[in-house]
Amino acid sequence: MIWSIAPEQASTQAEAFDRIFAMMTGFSLFVVALVGALIFVFSLLFRAKRGTPRRSVKALQNRQIEVFWTAVTAFFAIFFFWYTSTASLDAIEAPAGAMEYHVEAKQWMWKTRHPSGARELNAMHVPVGRPVTVFLNSQDVIHSFYVPAFRIKQDVVPGRTSTVWFEATKPGTYRLFCAEFCGTDHAKMTGRVVAMAPGDYARWLETRAEGETLAATGARLFVSAGCAGCHEEGSDVHAPSLAGLFGREIPLADGRQVTADADYLRDSILLPGRDIAAGYEPIMPNFSGMLEDGEVEALVAYIRTLSEEEASR
């Protein structure tokens, strides 16, 4: 294999990624060789002979050549844009029904929560052949979730939820790195992704304590932090119901429209005065500083399940 310098290919995206890399590198080498060879040949062919008056050479002007080389380079530029952007878009959108893992990054570790609620530190066990979406949050600074064998790298920015997805294609242990300098022990912020045959994964999961899922933590917080007092159906307070909210377009009091995604919900909890939903008073208290690390994500995960229930009804 020509790409023996590249890490092992262990996800469905790896092959497309390597194909683009090989194509771009090959094309660049071809252009470098072509231009280099032409410079060499022309410098021999057209070098000034002894006694030639310097200004006797007329500059070549040829419309056909101009049109030809402009068209050819434009074609390659558009082709590469189309080819790489379709592959990149596939890499962004996770297939429906992907397993949901939540990963918290903090100086200097990765905290994983499985769909079952099981937890791990600096490790992530996944079944082979199933798409996995990783929801990434940071508790402090910018980190980057990087698994070379899967050809995925996603920045993890505090204050927002990033996602990345992959489908492991063969069992094995693959290295996980933080690819964003995040402080003194950045280089030690590593982990491993262990891809297992589905049966092995199921057996492995049985040996783990079955923690609370993120949404279950959120459901508990929803009551204990006081959200339910206003947002529960039947409350006396005029507050928007959260059932079916996630993913919907929300009209705001100032006439704008926003999508109720994870970032909008997070902002509504931590900066409630900013985007007021149309038809409601700005009475929501500010919860920044009142919730602990990871609790906002749990609440958002819970609110998301309220929409999933709605959709499956």
Q: Counting contacts by CB under 5 A, is residue 103 touching Cu ion?
A: no
Contacts of 81 (CB under 8 A, 6+ apart): none
Taking the least distance from each CB to Cu ion, the nearer of 103 and 300 is: 103
Burial class of 113 by CB neighbour count within 10 A (0 to 12, 13 to 18, 19+): buried
Q: Which is nearer to Cu ion, 182 or 262 (CB)?
A: 182
Please state the closest distance from residue 133 (CB atom) to Cu ion, in A. 21
Interacting residue with Cu ion among 143, 231, 266, 304 (CB under 5 A): 143
**Closest separation in Å from C-beta 107 to Cu ion:** 7
The answer to whether residue 178 forms part of the interface with Cu ion (CB under 5 A) is yes
Q: Point out which span in 71-79, 124-132, 173-181, 222-230 binds Cu ion (CB under 5 A).
A: 173-181
Give the residue with the Cβ less far from Cu ion, 189 or 260.
189
Give the SS3 label for residue 186. helix
Question: From residue 213, how far is each of 58, 116, 135 by CA, in Å?
Answer: 77, 6, 13
265-304 residues near Cu ion, rule: CB under 5 A: none
Nearest residue to 186 (alpha-carbon basis) of 110, 129, 245, 241: 110
How many chain residues are in contact with Cu ion, going by CB under 5 A? Answer: 4
Nearest in space to 262 (alpha carbons), one of 246, 276, 285: 246
Considering beta carbons, is residue 114 or 143 the nearer one to Cu ion? Answer: 143
Residue 16 touching Cu ion (CB under 5 A): no
Return the SS3 of 285: coil
Is residue 228 within 8 A of residue 222, CB to CB? The reply is: yes
**Percent helix, strand and coil across the chain, each rounded to 5?**
40, 20, 40
By CB under 5 A, is residue 189 in contact with Cu ion?
yes
Bridge-partner residues for 104, per DSSP?
111, 137
Q: Which is nearer to Cu ion, 116 or 122 (CB)?
A: 122
- Residue 147 lies near Cu ion (rule: CB under 5 A): no
Residue with Cβ nearer Cu ion (189 or 298): 189
Rounded Cα gap, residues 129 and 170, in angstroms: 8
**CB nearer Cu ion, residue 10 or residue 136:** 136
Answer for which of 182, 193, 265, 298 binds Cu ion (CB under 5 A) is 182
Report the nearest approach of Cu ion to the CB of residue 238 (Å). 43
How far apart are the C-alpha atoms of 231 and 19, rounded to whole Å?
50
* Rounded Cα gap, residues 95 and 238, in angstroms: 37
Q: Minimum distance between the CB of residue 183 and Cu ion, rounded to whole angstroms?
A: 7
* Residues of the shown chain interacting with Cu ion in the complex, contacts defined by CB under 5 A: 143, 178, 182, 189
